[in-house]
Structure formats: C-alpha cells, structure tokens
Amino acid sequence: MGASSAEIDRQIRETRGQLDEKLALLEKRAASGARRYGRIAAGVAAGVAAIAIGVVLYRRRRQRSVVRRLHKMLSESIPNLPAEAISRFKERLPIKVVVTDKAHEESAPSTWADIAQKVAPAVAGSATGALLARFGRTRRTPDDDSASD
C-alpha cells in the first residue's frame, strides 16, 4: 500500500506543477492584454485631445461675420454714450446694413494661413495613422512573453 500512496503523491505533484505553469501563462497573457488595451486607450485619448485642440484653434481663427463684429462694437460703445445719444438710438434709425459675399473675399486669409488650412488635415491623418500602426504592431504572442523572462 505504501508504493501506491507514493505513486499518488507523485501524480499530485506533477498535476500541481502543470497547473502552476498554466496559471503563470494565463497571468502573462492577461498582463499583456492589459498593456495593449492601455496603449489603445492612450492612443484614443491622444486622438480626442488632438481633435479638441483642432476645433478650438479653428474656432479662434475663424473670422467673425461683419454683423457680429458690428453688434459687438455697438454693444460695447453704447453704455459710454451720453443720455441724449442713447435716446436717438431708441428711435428707428435710417441705417441699413447689407452683408454680401464680397466682404469674405476682401478679408481672405494670408497665404501661410491658407496653406496651413490645406495641409493640417493631411498631417493630422498621417499622425493618427502612424500611431494606430505603431500600436497595432505591438501585439505579442505567448511565446514572446516566455522568451523575455
């Protein structure tokens, strides 16, 4: 009976060893998956930040319309006017403002701004593609993980 219990103990040790190896392999796979998803999340966050910065810069560089500029100018200067002038504004004024497309042609952006507006989408697309390609290439196999130890 002693020989059979020794045989059973040996089989238990072998099975435990195999299970420990498999658990270690699964832990390595989970860790590499977490790193990969972390890189993807960082790439997405960088892309969203780049888009947000682009939108902010676009809105700041965009020319305001003539009507908006005129309205802002008048709304800032009216409180500083004397009461007599303010009473005149309350009456209907014989002023007519006409906005045409010629105003946009006269305030055309400079050559450098025009070039930057045409090149920026290509640069942003190339940079995003390069980042995605870089993160896509970092996929590792379980064999790579075991070789690095």
Structural Rg of the chain based on CA atoms: 35
pLDDT tens readout for residues 106-131? 555 678 777 888 888 888 888 888 87
pLDDT of residue 90: 67
Query: For residues 51-90, b (16+ Cβ closer than 10 Å) or e, as one string?
Result: eeeeeeeeeeeeeeeeeeeeeeeeeeeeeeeeeeeeeeee
Averaged pLDDT in 10-residue chunks for the chain of 149 residues: 77 91 89 86 93 88 74 70 67 64 58 82 84 66 51
Strands (E), 35-139: none
pLDDT of residue 149: 45
